[in-house]
Structure 1
């Protein structure tokens, strides 16, 4: 990440003051004086301020990201870019997605380094709702509302899905609310009723609504974090 952002975070001062300290040659990286705030810092480098090493201290962190298509929800992938491309934070590789999205699915991803918090999102026993906007290939029929509400038998699954709420927006668009997270669940549910998902976008997890532009991220508010319980 940028050196000035790292210093502002760990010294608790503004970037303007950081700039002054850099110009005053009070900062070294691996023993060399660095005066540019745009210097790209890697995790294995040693940063000192006025001769004292800065030890990164990171509290539990919680972010939302509006994921575009073409990115995977992992920290490392040899074939595709990961969602960490968008996250400019110290030790971003320590973050993980609390409920992943497929490569071609867009929308809300929650990232954290708090394993217990993310477990409350992904664990079936917590029944955390997820809301999706779905575009399908074939026209939707009203009878599907009851079928989804009753649960759907997915291929190679022993039990039906839990009751899901399907809201038909028009012939080819719907909102689907589910409270579990089986593998490719939304796509498989529509496949089970003879339809094909063309586009899929997650807009909500629990009460946390996506409210940022595609490719952007922001910290969650305290109330948003506490809403996952």
Structure 2
């Protein structure tokens, strides 16, 4: 992680205070002064403030939140309140959201201060599946039981060409729940991807709800949060 972030995570310093100490040459990494706040450091480095003991970063935190509608995937309020208003914890400025949701989208939100972990959650090359419940404007024709609209399923599986994109979307899995409700499983996270995918096939998304990321399933009421279990944390491959 960045040196200034490490200092904040191992002390009570603000980001501004940490940067001032680094720029003043007061921070030693493996015995040498480092004056760049953005310098990358690792947990096995010996980092200390001049004249002080070795610093140890606080343990990383991994959180699940059931995001309500009309909230922002942001650390600060804007046109809508930030989701961090639902989390009563210290040092929330150290936390970030792993895979933001639009203000009107509900469901599973993952929050952490472990940048390597969150990078792998939504990096498409690691094929971590995300499951969304999608409510559509128009009914999809066909029976609800049995094989439904095989052509549409095949189009999502083969990949769609979205406006302004050079590459097709990665293979996606479509499951039908009712004429206006489907489950969509994707392994990437392009800008407004679900809305653009259904627009490409002549439909429109009325509402979106994320139910699952990898093996991590949403299991709590709206607005509630909890720490992830060790099993859930480890279910995200780290490369």
Q: TM-score range by the shorter chain?
A: 0.7 to 0.9
2:213 matches 1:205: yes
Task: Indicate if the aligned counterparts of 1:106 and 1:200 stay in contact, CA closer than 8 A.
Answer: yes
| 1:125 corresponds to | 125
TM-score with structure 2 setting the length: 0.71
The whole-number CA distance in structure 2 between the counterparts of 1:67 and 1:79 is 16
How far residue 79 of structure 1 moved from its aligned partner, in angstroms, is 2.3
The whole-number CA distance in structure 1 between the counterparts of 2:169 and 2:77 is 30
Task: Indicate if the aligned counterparts of 2:73 and 2:101 stay in contact, CA closer than 8 A.
Answer: yes
Residues 36-51 of structure 1: pairs in structure 2 closer than 5 A: none
2:194 matches 1:182: no
| 1:37 corresponds to | none
How far residue 223 of structure 1 moved from its aligned partner, in angstroms, is 0.4
2:190 matches 1:149: no
The whole-number CA distance in structure 2 between the counterparts of 1:136 and 1:190 is 8
Partner of residue 180 from structure 2, selected from 169, 172, 183? 172
Task: Indicate if the aligned counterparts of 1:73 and 1:97 stay in contact, CA closer than 8 A.
Answer: yes
The whole-number CA distance in structure 2 between the counterparts of 1:118 and 1:189 is 25
Query: How large is the RMSD of aligned CA atoms in angstroms?
Result: 1.6
Task: Indicate if the aligned counterparts of 1:124 and 1:181 stay in contact, CA closer than 8 A.
Answer: yes
Secondary structure of 2:207's aligned partner: strand
The whole-number CA distance in structure 2 between the counterparts of 1:136 and 1:78 is 28
How far residue 77 of structure 1 moved from its aligned partner, in angstroms, is 3.8
The whole-number CA distance in structure 2 between the counterparts of 1:97 and 1:147 is 31
Secondary structure of 2:59's aligned partner: coil
Residues 116-145 of structure 1: CA distance to partner in whole angstroms, max 9, x if unpaired? 000001212111110000000011241311
Residues 13-162 of structure 1: pairs in structure 2 closer than 5 A: 58-141=58-141, 142=149, 143-162=151-170
Task: Indicate if the aligned counterparts of 2:72 and 2:78 stay in contact, CA closer than 8 A.
Answer: no
The whole-number CA distance in structure 1 between the counterparts of 2:77 and 2:125 is 30
Displaced runs of 4 or more, over 4 A: none
Task: Indicate if the aligned counterparts of 1:75 and 1:82 stay in contact, CA closer than 8 A.
Answer: yes
The whole-number CA distance in structure 2 between the counterparts of 1:111 and 1:76 is 14
The whole-number CA distance in structure 2 between the counterparts of 1:140 and 1:152 is 18
Partner of residue 196 from structure 1, selected from 170, 188, 204? 204
| 1:49 corresponds to | none
| 1:46 corresponds to | none
Instruction: Give unpaired runs (5+ residues) of structure 1.
Output: 1-56
TM-score with structure 1 setting the length: 0.74
Instruction: Give unpaired runs (5+ residues) of structure 2.
Output: 1-56, 142-148
